[in-house]
Each structure stands twice: as structure tokens, then as C-alpha cells.
Chain A
Amino acid sequence: MSETFPWLSVSILFPIAGSLVVPFIPDKGEGKQVRWFALGIALVTFLITVAAYLKGYDPSQEGLQLSERLNWLPDLGLSWAVGADGLSMPLILLTSFITALAVLAAWPVSFKPKLFFFLLLAMDGGQIAVFAVQDMLLFFLAWELELLPVYLLLAIWGGKKRQYAATKFIIYTAGSSIFILLAALAMGFFGEGPPNFEYTHLAQQNFGTGFQVLCYTGLLIAFGVKLPIVPLHTWLPDAHGEATAPVHMLLAGILLKMGGYALLRFNAQLLPEAHAQFAPLLIVLGVVNIIYAALTSFAQRNLKRKIAYSSISHMGFVLIGIGSFSALGTSGAMLQMISHGLIGASLFFLVGATYDRTHTLQLDEMGGVGQKMRIMFALWTVCALASLALPGMSGFVSELMVFAGFVTDEVYTLPFRIVMAGFAAIGVILTPIYLLSMLREIFFGKENSKLSAETNLIDAEPREVYIISCLLVPIIGIGLYPRLMTDSYKASIEALVERDLNSINRLNRVSNSPVNNTKLIPAFASNPKYTFPILKS
């Protein structure tokens, strides 16, 4: 039955169908029934995706699996094509996992609970769709569809500046996603025959280099907003700063990964020649992300915004990995997405849980709460250590893979690698500075008499401990034995990187440029118009 059962369609449609039932759940308005229902749906969705992984997915294959195809609007070339390969499958699992935990994290939501859980479930389906669809037009639809719930979740349940944050979010993302549509149309209508937007079709097209570069630029902007890439990031601290904890978990855990996934899927996979031109830029941007966001995070006095900037900093490693042209580095980027999805979600959940107690996010007003909230302190410490890439946890492995992949990669010249790796490694120093001083400012010190008197500083309750434990199990599991995760996408990543490497070689052959074999002298790649002198032939 595993061959024929439409696992992916079910995992997309089931939570959406579930969300449609939410308004009809008998509930007295406090959300007590609805939340159980939502949790059930989210858990079943998670189980469906797990079953899909176990029954229909073979990690040793590089190609598309679990494929389903249905012509939807043949005139438009739009088809319902879903499938999963190594790039999508781990992220699909991550999505359904984080969403289930987010529903549990949303337990205390009592303001318009029906709408809230409706949106959470709808988002679940939408996000799985983003990772599962195999048609670029459909991808665009799914991408846009997921914006609406986020907008509403921000605008209705957010903090004081929620309108501003939500508007900024929607303008940023909706505005930039126009480029996806443009690129999709351009790529779909390319060449002879009826328009066709399926990835498999697009991958076989022989786009010219100029065309690729144009599409690549547009997509880079669109996905760069999402990831985010400095300087396109300023929606994120506002959105994250205003979101409630469950929304926060979804934003950090999944939404940012859509950017990284799409960069791999479209930019690196479908536009390999442009990728060869842009990759050095990605590396530079990645390094900028790491250092710039780490510094801003250090200076931030607002806890949520601090963690938000730390997310941006961690996404820098994804960029370096994607630009590294090595299987190791790209695997590292993929693992960093998953790892940050887990770690980011846990940190943001803890921020929410702490705020529920202190009623302030200003670090100046905190301090010394560790006396009353010991378990909370312990959970915070573990998650902060995970975030600063402590060995034994997933963040370390992914950052190490990115570093090792980039440094040993012979595509770039040695000076470029030295400088970039050196700067990126400064992040190794900066990250503990801001995370540990954050811990110190929240928890260390004499008991905070003001907060203790004014607020009820109760320690973590079992539900909260449970959520963090659920996130820590894979974090530590991957940290101890990374192949648990990396083996599930190894084949796909290797195929992708090989394709990209081939395109570099092809570029060199076409231009008949003299192949430069000396290791240490900067060499130009073939097409001087678009190249950076740091790419080596």
C-alpha cells in the first residue's frame, strides 16, 4: 500500500481539513475543547509525515520519491505535483513536529482561541505544501498562502506594536515574493511547448547564463528576505519581537527555513550556472550575517529581539554552506536549518514562557530570577549552550560541517577561504558573548526583589518541560550521532553539488579560459561579466 497511498497530499490536506472543522467545535470560548482537537490534528499530521518517511521514503535515493501528479489547470501548465527528496523530507518532518509542539505551546491562548488554532493548523498544511510541492507555480501559491495566517497571527495576538510589525512583515514578504512569480513565469514559459512549471521539467531546460542570472537575482531577493539576509532582515526583529510564543516557534522554526530550502531548491538546483556566479556573494553575505547580527544581538536590551538577531546570525551558516560547492558544506547548511529550527523554536518558547512570568522583556529589569525559577534556568542554559554550538548538540555538527566543507573546498582560492573562514569563526567568539551575558542578566545575581514582589515567578510547569524535552531529544540525538539526520538527505545533496560543480566546469570549457592549476593564485572563472575574481577554475 505504501507505493500508492498519497502520503504527501494527505499530510498537506489533513491539517487544512482539520482547520476547517475548528469553527464547528463546541467550545465555550475559552479554547479548552478546541486546543485538544487542534493538538490531535497536529499530532496525527506529524504521524502521517513520519509514516510517509518510514513507509514511502528511501533515504539512499537521490531522486524524487512519494511523487503524485495530477493535472490541475493544464492550460496554465499548473499541476498538483508533490513529492519529496532529501531536500524536502527532513523539513516536512520538522514542520509537522514543530507545529505539534507549537499547538501545545499555545495551550494558554484564551483570546479568540478558535481563530488562533484554525490559523495554526492551516499554516501547518501550507508549510508542508511549500516543502512538498514540485511545481513552481504551486510553490508560489503555497508560499503566498502561508503569509496570510502569519499576518493575522501577528496582527491579532501580537504585542504592543503588532500592527506595525504585521504590516511590515506582509509588505516585505509579499513584495519580495513577486520576484518568485516573475521567475516562475519566466522559467515556466521558457522554450518550446506548453508552459510547464514542474521542477523536473525546469531542471532539464537549458537556460542561458544571462537568463539564469536574472532569475537568480530575483529569487535571491525573495528568499533573502525570508531567510533573512542582511540588509533585508529588518522585518524579522519586529515580527519576532511582537509575536506570541507559539507563533514565534513557527516563525523561527519553520518560516526562516523556507528561505534556505528555496535557495537550495531553485537557486542552487535549477540555476546552477548563475549559482556558480553568485556563490561567492552568498559566502560574503553569510559572513556578514554572522558577525553583523551577532553584534546587534549583543547590543539588544530586549530579550525577544536579542534572540531574533541570534537567528539571523545562525542563518549565515546556511548561506555559507549553500555557497560552498561541497557536499559537506551543503549538508551542513541543511543540517543547520534543521538544527536551528529545533534550537530556535526552543529558545523562543522559553522567551515566551519567561515573559509570562516576568511581564517584561527588558533585560535591565530582569536579573536574579534564577533563585525562584531553577528549572527554567536549567532549560535556558541547555538551550543557550545548544545555540552557541556546544559539541554534543546539533548546532555544533552543522557549523562544523559548514566550516570544514568550505575550508577544504578547492573551488575557491586560498586567500578567500582564509579570510572568510577567519571572519566566520569570529562568530564562534561572539555567540557565547551575547548568549552567556543574556543568561547572566536574566538569571544570575541576587534575588530580584522587585520582580518577586510584583509578579508570580513560578518555576517551569510540566507542560513546558515536556515541550523543551521534545525539542532537546533530536537536538542532542543529532549532536551525538549526526548520521541520524544527514543520512536522510545525503544522496540528494551529493547529486545537487555534483550538478553545480559540473556547471562550473562547463562554464570554464565554454569560455576556453586557460585552466589555472596553481593553488594559491587567484584565478578568474570563465565569464568575466558576472564573475568574482575569487572563484577559481
Chain B
Amino acid sequence: MIASAEIAWLIPVLPLLGAVVTGLGLISFNRTINRLRKPVAITLITCLGISAVLSYAVLAEQLSGSPPVEHLFIWASAGDFTLPMGYLIDPLGAVMLALVTTIALLVMIYSHGYMAHDKGYVRFFTYLALFSSSMLGLIISPNLLEIYVFWELVGMCSYLLVGFWYDREGAAHAAQKAFVVNRVGDFGLLLGILGLFWATQSFDFQGIAEGLASAISAGTIPIWAALTLCLLVFMGPMAKSAQFPLHVWLPDAMEGPTPISALIHAATMVAAGVFLVARLEPLYSQFPIVGFVIAVVGTITCFLGASIALTQMDLKKGLAYSTVSQLGYMMLAMGCGAPVAGMFHLVTHAFFKAMLFLGSGSVIHAMEDVVGHEPILAQDMRLMGGLRKKMPITAVTFFIGCIAISGIPPLAGFWSKDEILGQAFNTFPFLWLIGFMTAGMTAFYMFRLYFLTFEGNFRGEDQEIQAQLLASAGKLTDEDLHHHDSGVLHESPWSMTFPLAVLALPSVLIGLLGTPWNSKFVNFLNPDEAKEMIEIFNWSEFLTLAGASVAISSAGITLAVMAYYLNRIDLGKSIAARFPTINSFLINKWYLDDINEKLFVQGSRKLAREVLEVDAKVVDGVVNLTGLLTLGSGEGLKYFETGRAQFYALIVFGGVIALVVLFGVLGATPPA
């Protein structure tokens, strides 16, 4: 029997084939293919299913101790430059493969229910398969350049999927914003990759790290250049993993269908940045200062996301800022030199955040039957409440997700977040403090989301609130929005609740793989580190830190219970009204979107218009003036001769004279 790692290239290729076939079908026989919903869905789910089986086989093989597998071929060459491409299977990649295929498969099943009434059902599945393929390709890339290739491709899929409902103005803007902001990061990433190639003649992770180390010690590359290159490369992960200040695209990307928010903008693609930093660990570990920058960026992001999430009224946006915050935790871990801890949080977060997003999708799906397909209404928590009674499965899984992300033991989030905070405590105590406080905020805003959505009384039929919301969004109350009024809240179909139930399992249990006294996860990714961990493990330190984390999380939860469940405290009056500046600062998302709009969007528009002015008036003006003059002389000439030959002769004559003069001036007679 052949080793599954040998055919691991099939993992991204299978969904790609499926996507290509249906994509071509959509372009050639649009109507027919659009009618073949079930067959297309089944085909694509099968393709991805086989990939998932293969991924698990690969994971099992790696777990049993097989060595990493790498296969390369020459993709491009010129001069003495050759560029190999291929694939690499190692423990890190195997974990990601299993994770991505699992969640992608569940999201596909979920989409069958969620997109059932959508005209673009087939197109949606095609994009999903295409995305899965690109993401899986990214994971098994053996070098930076191949990662860049798939990096861009997942970005493209994100663009296509955010803009999936292209008749919505908001989706159109969000899609473009997502792509352009990511390109800003890619600008740095590309320059960094090129610079590292210049410095080390290599694209692969190990080669770069070793090459750079020896170049620095040999003195051929100054240290500032090496640091610059490392930070340039980090710009890519900053954009992709929504780190401050390039996080602005992620909340807007929630305009896409909710399964996409779960798969791409919570569980997989946004984690690609974290994954890349983990891949580059041999490089980054050489430069503590780079690690510090990463940790600071991660901490700022972590705090910023949580603080904005406190005031969000849109269910999906709240979750989106929570994702931003959690990605910040992962980056913090990377910066602390603990990539394994970051990867562990990536894995646990992927499960519970995918579940939370899919749960929010289930809620929105139900709300749409009541308030219509207007996202401003269907996603606003002011119109929700009391949904637990109508949608028990969604409510229970969402609740599990909330506990998991809040860091209550023994659920998944506790172990991974605590691991990161522990690392931060030992490396950068100040950053730990911020991360620690953020943990409390996390617990508070998550339970705020839960209580506003699932507890209390249902407010969805309140026409007054609806009108208010529409008015504040600048939309007039549209008569045809109300034709859904008669709808009744109901639990979602099995295709949507099944993935929720499946995801609940790892959300509860997977953390147990990473208990600090016997971390199977660390042991798998980095056995040396695991041994060291066991050696230095100290119950009293662990219990103190963990106790503190649990305490602050509990405090956050208690506050949320008091404010939103028991209604004992009115936070609006007691805090928001007292500190209006802070409140509006948070509601306006730290004003970052406004700054972007003013500075970059308007600025680049203005610059472009000015350049166009110059082009039309100055550059072309000179040309037209010359044209006018020659036309004048031509008009004059026309009376002596006719036709263009004379015009030619004139220029030839002038040219020859000019040449003679030039030769004379320069004295550059051609040597014999």
C-alpha cells in the first residue's frame, strides 16, 4: 500500500477539479447547470470528502511518526535561477489539512440548507470548492513563493465570496475593500519575499532562515536590512489575519453569506497569516525584536477587537470583531516565540468560532422569515431575543461556543488561551496584562451576544425598532420589505443543525489534547518543546494563572448576566452615558474606518484625478500644441505641394541636420 503522503497532492487537486468542471459548466450551459443543484452539491461534497479522508490518513501517518515528505519539480527557470514548486507534508501541515477539510466539509453541508433558496446556489458551491482547494494548496506549499501564489488565490476567493450577492451595494464595497487591503499587505509580503530571495538565494523556509543567519554573520547583509525584510514579510500576515491597522476589511467582509464568514473569515483563511508566521518560525526566532513587534501588534489587535465588540449591535459584526481579537491572541503567541501555542489556539478557535458563526447564520436564516432579507434588520440583535425557545439546538451550541471562547475549563478555549497567556506572562508581562484583561472583555461581550439573541422576549415584530434601524442606516422603509411579516420563527433544517452539533464536540473536548502537563498537541508538532514543557511545568504557577483567567472570565460573564439577563444594571445609563467619548469611540470602531476613508480612499482618488488632469492638460496639451503648429506649417506647405511625402522629407531633412549638429557638438565621430 502506498503511503497517503505520496498522493497528498490530490488533496487540493480534487476540489479544484470539481470547481473547474462546474465552473466551465456554468459558463457554457448556465441554465442547465443551475438547475442541477443536488448533483453538483453531491459531486463537490464528495470531492472534498475524499480530500478529508486523505487528510486524516496523512495526519494518522504523521502521528505514527512518519518523516516529513517533500516533492518538488522545476516550475520556472531563467539564467541560473530556478524555482521549484511542489508539496510538503509535515506535522504542522497535516494538522491544518485535517482542520480545513473538516470545517470546509461541514460548511458545505450547512450551505445546502442555508443557500437553498438562493439563485446562486451552484455558483456558491463552485466558489466554496475553489476556496477549499486554494487553502489546502497553501497549507502544503513547501516554499514562500508557492505560499504567495495560494495566498493570492484564497484572497481572490474571498473577494468573489464577499461580493457574492453582487446586487448589494455593501457587498460590492466590502469585496473590493477586502481585496485591496489585502493587497497592501501583499505589497510588503512580495517585497519581503523578493528581498529574502536576494539575500539568501532561496525561497524555502529552512533555506531562508539558514541563509540569512549565515549572511548576517558573514557581514554581507546588514542587520537592519534583515529586520526590514522580516517585517515586510510580516505585512502579509497582518493583512490576511486582520491585525491592526490592516484589520479593517474583516468586519466589512461579513457582507458575504454567513457560511463564508464561518469558513473563510473565521476558521481558515484568516488563520493563514498565523500559519505563515508559524512556518517562518526558524526565521523569526533569530530576531527577538521582530518577535516583540509581532507580539505588540497582536496585543493591540486583541484589545482593539474586544473593545469594539463590546458595543456592536450586529450579531455577525460582533462575532467578526471577536475573531479579530482572537487572531490577536494567536499573533501574541507567535511574538512570544510560542508558535505551537498559537497554532493550538488556531485549531480550537477554528472549531468554536466556526460553530458560533454557523449558529449566527442559523439565527439570521430564521430571522429572515420574520423581517425579510434585509441584513440591517435580520442581523440586528435589537430585533432578536428569546430565540432559545424556538431554536434549541442553535441556542445550545451557541452557548457552548460562548463558554469555550470565554475560557471556562474544561472547554477548548480555556486550554489554548491559557497557554498563550502563560507564555506571554513569562516573556512580556505587560502584554500579558492586556491580554488578561481582554479575556474578561471577551467573556462579557460573548455572553452579551448570547443573552441579547437567545434570552428575554422576542422583539422582531416591533415595527418601531425596524423603522428606526432602517432610518439610521439611511434606508427608507421599503414597502416590499414587509412581505415576510407573516413568517414564524423555527429551528433550521437538519443540514444546518447537524454541522453545529458536530462542531460542538471538538469545541468541548479538543482542548484536552493540549493540557500543559501532557500536551499531545505540542508533542506532535514539536517533541522537544513538549519535553521541556513537562520539565518546567509547575502546578502552583499553572493554578495561579489559570485561576486568575477563570476569575476574570467569570467576572465578565457575571456582568453580562446582570446587565442582559437579569436586567439589574443598565449599562447604557451607568457607563455609556457617563463616558460618551469612550462610547462613541468604540461605536465608531476607533474611527479607523473614517481615517482610512479620508486619508487613503479620498486621498488616492484626488491624486489620481490630479494626475489625469496633468495628463490631459499638460502632457497631451503640449502634443496638441505641437500638432497645431505642424498642422499650420502643413497648411502652408499644402499650397506648394500635396501629400504626405513632403512632410516626411521635411522631417528627414531636419533630422539629418540635427544629427550633423549633434555629431559636431559631441565630437563623437564614429571610430573606424
Contact = CB atoms under 8 A, between A and B. Distances in A.
Interface of A: 167-168, 171-172, 174-175, 178-179, 181-182, 186, 190-192, 206-211, 213-214, 230-231, 233-235, 292, 295-296, 298-300, 326-328, 331-332, 368, 370-371, 374-375, 377-379, 381, 385, 390-392, 396-397, 400-401, 403-405, 407-408, 421-422, 425-426, 428-429, 432-433, 436-437, 440, 443-447, 459, 465, 481-483, 486, 490, 493-494, 497, 519-520
Interface stretch (B71-79, B107-115, B405-413, B541-549): B71-79
Given A292-B611, A483-B75, A444 B166 contact: yes
A378 B53 CA distance: 32
B667 to A, nearest CB: 8
A440 B668 contact: no
Given A405-B78, A408-B194, 15 more contacts: A168-B623, A186-B659, A207-B670, A211-B668, A214-B662, A235-B623, A296-B611, A299-B609, A391-B152, A422-B191, A432-B180, A432-B183, A433-B180, A436-B176, A486-B78
Interface stretch (B23-31, B384-392, B436-444, B486-494): B23-31
25 contacts: A168-B627, A178-B652, A181-B652, A182-B652, A182-B655, A192-B672, A206-B671, A209-B668, A292-B611, A295-B612, A296-B611, A296-B615, A298-B604, A327-B78, A327-B79, A405-B81, A407-B195, A408-B198, A428-B183, A429-B183, A440-B176, A444-B163, A483-B74, A486-B77, A490-B78
B184 interface: yes
B608 A375 contact: no
A327 B176 CA distance: 36
B601 to A, nearest CB: 9
Contacts of A405: 78, 81
B149 interface: yes
Given A182-B659, A299-B612, A371-B167, A494 B79 contact: yes
Nearest to A374: B30
A299 B78 contact: no
Given A296-B611, A299-B608, A401 B198 contact: no
Contact of B627 (A171, A186, A190): A171
Contacts of B652: 178, 181-182
Contact of B172 (A295, A298, A444): A444
Contacts of B169: 444-446
A436 B655 contact: no
Contacts of B173: 440
Given A401-B78, A443-B166, A208 B668 contact: yes
A179 B186 CA distance: 42
A482 B76 contact: yes
B656 interface: yes
B191 A421 contact: yes
B292 interface: no
Contacts of A490: 77-78
Given A299-B611, A374-B30, A390-B152, A425 B670 contact: no
Interface string B313-330: 000000000000000000
A149 to B, nearest CB: 16
Contacts of A433: 180, 604
Nearest to A301: B612
Contact of A295 (B74, B608, B655, B672): B608
Contacts of A446: 167, 169
A332 B608 CA distance: 28
A432 B179 contact: yes
B27 A375 contact: yes
Given A211-B668, A295-B608, A378 B150 contact: no
A210 B664 CA distance: 12
Interface residues of B, number: 73
Contact of B78 (A178, A331, A444): A331
A231 B78 CA distance: 32
Interface in B50-97: 74-81
B287 interface: no
A375 B123 CA distance: 12
A332 to B, nearest CB: 8
Nearest to B228: A418
B656 A300 contact: no
Contacts of A422: 191
B180 A429 contact: yes
Contact of B611 (A295, A378, A379, A396): A295
Nearest to B658: A182
Contact of A171 (B159, B220, B611, B630): B630
A429 B187 contact: yes
B2 interface: no
Given A171-B630, A374-B30, A401-B76, A385 B187 contact: no
A31 B220 CA distance: 68
B672 A191 contact: yes
Interface string B645-672: 0001001100110010011001011111
Contacts of B195: 407
